[in-house]
Amino acid sequence: MWFIQVCATTLVTGAAIGFPNIWGGTLERAFLFGGFLTIGLFHGSADLLLLRHLSASQKEHSKIRSLIGYLGVITGVALFFWCVPQVVLGFFLLASAFHFGESQFWKDRVIQSIVPIRERTLIYLLWGTWVILTPILLRPEETLTLLNQLGSFPIYEPMLLSRSPHQLFTIASILFLAAIGSLLWLYFKRKAFSQGVLTQELISLVLLQMTFVYTSVLTSFGVYFILWHSTISLQDQVQALNQLNANMESTRLKPYHWLKTYVRAAFPYWSLSVMGAIGIWKADSAGLIPVPITALVFGGAILLTTPHLFTIRALHNRLHHEIKMMP
């Protein structure tokens, strides 16, 4: 998987650098929309399956409870976002940074058992903040243009982007060094993974940094979210389902069983999401949507991502408990 991610990232970044006139149009939109509608949406479409597996009882009526709870979180976030959008946006970005960092390092399960929780939290936030802020800091004008397109959301111009290009580059460099430092700390101080894993993580980090430097904000985020986060999260969720099943039963089912289970559970919700996205796009093309489509997509992302963040956090908490109980 790692080799595929590296090759795909190199291909996309090379196309963006070598053919900017071509990439900046149809190819970039095809990559972003195609990736988000397929891998991006699909990696969060089996949350109800995960919630049912995490519940104390997996009886049929638990499906209803899971659905009600899931919709309840979305409704609550929508109300808060309507009343205090700045606060919700701040918490969303902070939680997303933690989520990205956790997904990046969770595949090395040993980290969960030997690294203290406060230290893990700091490392997750450092890594996720580097991912989220670096493209923004390196492309402040493009970021402000995107923020202005949100239109109906009262999101103010960040004071951070009013700094000089030199200051922004310095901050981005500090974030990059902090991300490298977190890897070195885990390797040398905590002995959390092997030299081979450290080499892979460093290559990934440097390659993504090059992507952030040489591509647009949207392409930078798309490369990380589609090619790295979503694929890692999909693999993580399937492995987690298999592990939870092995802890509840005496036999471990083969991983492909849970891959099929995941696909069956995710497909209906993924299909509805894709049809909804296509419907919104057509309605916007026909001039039927009174708010900017960028604002609509951004708000929808916040509403749908929030319960996913809670679900994955609960999943990892459950697995962390299982790891601690192992002899």
Q: Which residues, 6+ apart, have CB-to-CB distance to 51 below 8 Å?
A: 66, 69, 70, 311, 314
Categorize the per-residue pLDDT at 208 as very low, low, confident or very high, splitting at 50, 70 and 90: very high
Categorize the per-residue pLDDT at 184 as very low, low, confident or very high, splitting at 50, 70 and 90: very high
Categorize the per-residue pLDDT at 54 as very low, low, confident or very high, splitting at 50, 70 and 90: confident
Unique residue bearing structure tokens 């291909």 = 11
Out of 31-35, 127-131, 231-235, 305-309, give the one with best mean pLDDT: 127-131
Cβ atoms within 10 Å, residue 32: 19
Model pTM score: 0.85
Instruction: For the chain, give the mean pLDDT.
Output: 81
**What pLDDT is stored for residue 250 in this prediction?**
43
Q: Which of 83-87, 233-237, 307-311 has the lowest mean pLDDT?
A: 83-87
Q: Which residues, 6+ apart, have CB-to-CB distance to 247 below 8 Å?
A: 322
What are 90-99's pLDDT values in tens digits? 888 888 999 9
Rounded CA gap, 131 and 224, in Å?
8
Inform me whether the pLDDT recorded for 194 exceeds 80: yes
Angle between helices 47-54 and 293-325 in degrees, nearest 10? 30
The number of angstroms, rounded, from the C-alpha of 314 to the middle of its chain's C-alpha atoms is 16
